Amino acid sequence: MQIITSAENLKNFVALAREKKSTIAFVPTMGALHDGHMSLVDIARDQADVVVVSIFVNPLQFGANEDFDKYPRTLQSDAELLAARDVDVLFAPSVEDVYPNGQQVLEHAGAVGETFEGASRPGHFDGMLTVVARLFDVVKPDFAVFGAKDAQQLFLIKQMVASERTTNPQRWHALQIIEGVTVREPDGLARSSRNRYLSDEEHRAALTLSAAMRAAATTTGNASVRIQAAAQLLAAEPQVRLDYVALVDSSSFEAVDDSFSGQALLLIAAKVGNTRLIDNLSITI
Ligand code: PAF
């Protein structure tokens, strides 16, 4: 596995791969890799000749009071995991390489970017889309793989790529976005780089999130009844501070009303101790 740290060198690598007619699958990450990331890498490996994984903790997508400084940075062990997975390139650029013209927000997530995660983390999705767009421009992948746990992120990336396809079809013309299912720990907790912040007691409390999603899925009733079932369980766990629980139509990411029937996505965001966790489950109403 090559480790490439500059955008220019990565572009050269991509140009050579293209000369050989190789297809490229890309997995953007912020590092602190876990089994969830590895499942995305495996999807990428199955999909293309060349696999590029980026590790970049993107300052633009963290708010002033968030965990940018203490976000886990484990490049050495991440590189070992990726090399063992037959990844071709680990792209680990500096902030200056990603943002040669300064840290400007260049992509806007629009209305959906201001709801749910976006309401709790203003500017987060604009920063996330800005870095993903920049990485797509450098890597020029045929496939990019993202985890379903970050459902709103995935929705917005698909929306950005679809919109670019109409306004600027050449930019990412070959790109297909692939979704990787959420990987869970054996006890049900969704894998996240932030799980390492949880104490044992907090980890136990965090299981309420998956239990609440199951309650919403198995309760009979309309959207309000399902949300209420999840909210009640979450409220009963004193270590969980609920941010939101909602049911959205996954094709629009808008909240469904009580007349809705079909597949909807249950979203939960909560703080357990100082750690913010999100999760989601597709349920049938
Ligand atoms: O999901 C993440 O890890 C990040 O939001 C991403 C997509 C790598 C952009 O920084």
Q: What is the CATH number of the domain that holds 122?
A: 3.40.50.620
Q: Would 71 be classed as within a structural domain?
A: yes
> Do residues 94 and 5 touch, judged by C-beta distance below 8 A?
yes
What contacts 175, CB < 8 A, 6 or more positions away?
A: 136, 141, 142, 143, 144, 161
33 close to ligand 1 (CB < 6 Angstrom): no
Q: Catalytic site residue 34? A: no
Task: Please check whether residues 239 and 276 belong to one and the same domain.
Answer: yes
Q: Would 200 be classed as within a structural domain?
A: yes
Please identify, by atom number, the ligand 1 atom nearest to the C-alpha of residue 193.
3
227 close to ligand 1 (CB < 6 Angstrom): no
Mean pLDDT by groups of 10 residues along the chain of 285 residues: 98 98 98 98 98 98 94 97 98 97 97 98 98 98 98 98 96 96 98 97 98 98 98 98 98 98 98 97 98
Task: Please check whether residues 199 and 176 belong to one and the same domain.
Answer: no
> How far away, in angstroms, is 54 Cα from ligand 1 center?
9
> How far away, in angstroms, is 29 Cα from ligand 1 center?
5
Task: Please check whether residues 36 and 167 belong to one and the same domain.
Answer: yes
Q: Would 185 be classed as within a structural domain?
A: no
29 close to ligand 1 (CB < 6 Angstrom): yes
Query: For atom 9 of ligand 1, which residue has the closest CA?
Result: 128
Please identify, by atom number, the ligand 1 atom nearest to the C-alpha of residue 157.
7
pLDDT for residue 32: 97
Q: Reduce the secondary structure of 93-139 to three states and give it as a string.
A: CCHHHHCCCCCCCCCCCCHHHHCCHHHHCCCHHHHHHHHHHHHHHHH
Task: Please check whether residues 130 and 245 belong to one and the same domain.
Answer: no
CATH at 258: 3.30.1300.10
Q: Would 188 be classed as within a structural domain?
A: no
Task: Please check whether residues 13 and 138 belong to one and the same domain.
Answer: yes
> How far away, in angstroms, is 4 Cα from ligand 1 center?
18
Domain coverage including residue 250: 193-280
Instruction: Report the C-alpha gap between 242 and 244 in whole angstroms.
Output: 6
Task: Please check whether residues 219 and 158 belong to one and the same domain.
Answer: no
Domain boundary among 156, 180, 204: 180
> How far away, in angstroms, is 271 Cα from ligand 1 center?
20
